[in-house]
Amino acid sequence: MSQPDVLTRLEILADAAKYDASCASSGTTRRDSKGGRGIGSTTGSGICHAYAPDGRCISLLKLLLTNHCIFDCHYCVNRKSSNVARARFTPKEVVDLTLSFYRRNYIEGLFLSSGIVKSSNHTMEQMVEVARCLREDHDFRGYIHLKAIPEADPELVRQAGLWADRVSINVELPTEAGLARLAPDKNGTRIEGTMRRVSSDIIENKDARKHFRSAPKFAPAGQSTQMIVGADDASDADIVGKASSLYDRFRLRRVYYSAFSPIPDASAVLPLKRPPLMREHRLYQSDWLMRFYGFAPQDVQHATDDTGMLPLDIDPKLAWALRFREHFPVDVNRASKSMLLRVPGLGTRAVGAILTARRHRSLRIDDIARLTVSLKKVRPFIITTDWRPTLLTDRVDLKAQLTPPARQLELFG
């Protein structure tokens, strides 16, 4: 069968890849191409080379090697029973495309995933070959993220980790029941087994590098995963619990949440309407609270309503503060760092600045105004030398005062 031209196939295979939320190019070792044969460098925090009108960053060339697939996962546009156009690239074509984009400063590197053709091992071998060719034949030093196939041979997954900066395996759905219903060919135990192996390989490699500096690096940017939100009936509390257990057990760098979005030729089993994008945003906020603000998963779960859902109109930190008003107001001149981090409207940077500044002076409300983005949001929850909220935290209309004004509903929402 003759293949369509490169542009057509690129369009098909990029279109098929866009449901993976991650496009991060951060967190790997710093390196550049000086003294090498090829091109490429990495920075600490990654670079977004463009933004699409969906607000998402385009950092990597995000591509499927092929969207042919022998699996039949309902939420996936590439499932066997889907009627989408199919295409495939050879490893060499992907290598050429990556280098050609990189040379023009379009991208930070490659994020390669694939539908499963022939067998999981065959597919994984092809993906590893792309990474090997970039690194060995072209001395490419940019970022590479490979999606590991849980069903593939562990040795192949290990090789992927040797070439790539990041390896990821998607847990797909927050609950085992959801997985059984929507991804019948996948197996939660197997997915977690592979995650555990990658995680222990990373730890072992860190240890080896302490003793032998020449030991090859293994996935220096760690591993990540993705959960689809809104395709099954898992609540936010379920999702937060699952994410926290994944962070704990497999030392993941990131859990991505992807609001299920309508796909062409959708399976009839799926809800047709997307969940509100705000829900995804609230989940990311709670993820941040757990990773950077010292919130335990239970704290976030306390911020949910009776059905386990986070409020959509206010952020989870404010929701928590409104529920546990007895902890407020907080005296910014005395309070501990952990308590300052709980104040709605104070970010990690503002808290850092407050801690430094209060060594030099007693902070007044004007000082806080200079250090924060929105004084209005912070004011009801803090005490400064010249400010004390008048029992604001007891007001019943406090929530209404702090909730952003309702926006007009989307026309087709």
Return the number of the residue (68 or 325) whose C-beta is nearest another protein. Answer: 68
Per CB under 8 A, does 407 bind another protein? Answer: no
Phi, psi torsion values for 146, nearest 5 degrees: -110, 135
Contacts 24+ apart (CB under 8 A), 207-211: none
Nearest to residue 144, comparing CAs of 126, 158, 156, 132? 132
Per CB under 8 A, does 400 bind another protein? Answer: no
Residues 84-113 as x/- pattern, contact with another protein by CB under 8 A: -------------x--xx-xxxx-------
Among 151, 172, 192, 367, binds another protein (CB under 8 A): 367
**Cα angle: 181, vertex 184, 188; to 5 degrees:** 90
The window from 235-243, 258-266, 309-317, 324-332 that contacts another protein (CB under 8 A) reads 258-266
Return the number of the residue (275 or 389) whose C-beta is nearest another protein. Answer: 275
Contacts 24+ apart (CB under 8 A), 130-133: 130/65, 130/91, 130/94, 130/95, 131/160, 131/163, 131/164, 132/159, 132/163, 133/91, 133/92, 133/95
Per CB under 8 A, does 52 bind another protein? Answer: yes
Annotate 260-297 with DSSP letters as a single string.
Answer: ----TT--TTS-SSPPPHHHHHHHHHHHHHHHHS---H
408 has which bridge partners?
Answer: none
Per CB under 8 A, does 56 bind another protein? Answer: yes
The window from 39-47, 230-238, 331-339, 378-386 that contacts another protein (CB under 8 A) reads 39-47
Among 356, 374, 401, 403, binds another protein (CB under 8 A): 356
Among 162, 215, 309, 357, binds another protein (CB under 8 A): 357
What is the C-alpha separation between 200 and 191, in angstroms, rounded? 14
The window from 128-136, 218-226, 229-237, 261-269 that contacts another protein (CB under 8 A) reads 261-269
What are the tokens at 225? 């995963």
Per CB under 8 A, does 10 bind another protein? Answer: yes
Whole-number minimum distance, CB 57 to another protein, in Å? 7
What are the tokens at 39? 């091109």
Considering only residues 269 to 298 of the shown chain, the ones binding another protein according to CB under 8 A are: 269, 272-274, 277
Considering only residues 186 to 225 of the shown chain, the ones binding another protein according to CB under 8 A are: none
Per CB under 8 A, does 346 bind another protein? Answer: no
Per CB under 8 A, does 82 bind another protein? Answer: yes
Residues 6+ apart with CB under 8 A from 321: 327, 328, 342, 343, 344, 381
The window from 143-151, 223-231, 310-318, 353-361 that contacts another protein (CB under 8 A) reads 353-361
Return the number of the residue (10 or 124) whose C-beta is nearest another protein. Answer: 10
What is the C-alpha separation between 267 and 262, in angstroms, rounded? 10
CA-to-CA dists, residue 392 to 80, 177, 203, 205, 239, angstroms: 57, 44, 49, 53, 33
Strands 223-229 and 50-51: unpaired
Whole-number minimum distance, CB 53 to another protein, in Å? 5
Return the number of the residue (47 or 339) whose C-beta is nearest another protein. Answer: 47
What is the C-alpha separation between 137 and 141, in angstroms, rounded? 11
- Is the separation of the CB atoms in 73 and 60 below 8 Å? no
Per CB under 8 A, does 388 bind another protein? Answer: no
Considering only residues 156 to 185 of the shown chain, the ones binding another protein according to CB under 8 A are: 181, 184-185
The window from 159-167, 197-205, 240-248, 264-272 that contacts another protein (CB under 8 A) reads 264-272
Q: Which amino acid is at 114?
A: S
Q: If you count DSSP H runs as helices and E runs as strands, how many of each does the chain have, helices first?
A: 15, 10
Per CB under 8 A, does 396 bind another protein? Answer: no
Return the number of the residue (79 or 158) whose C-beta is nearest another protein. Answer: 79
Among 95, 116, 227, 263, binds another protein (CB under 8 A): 263
Among 3, 4, 29, 51, binds another protein (CB under 8 A): 51
Per CB under 8 A, does 361 bind another protein? Answer: yes
Residues in the interface with another protein (CB under 8 A) total 77
The window from 44-52, 153-161, 293-301, 322-330 that contacts another protein (CB under 8 A) reads 44-52
What is the C-alpha separation between 404 and 232, in angstroms, rounded? 29
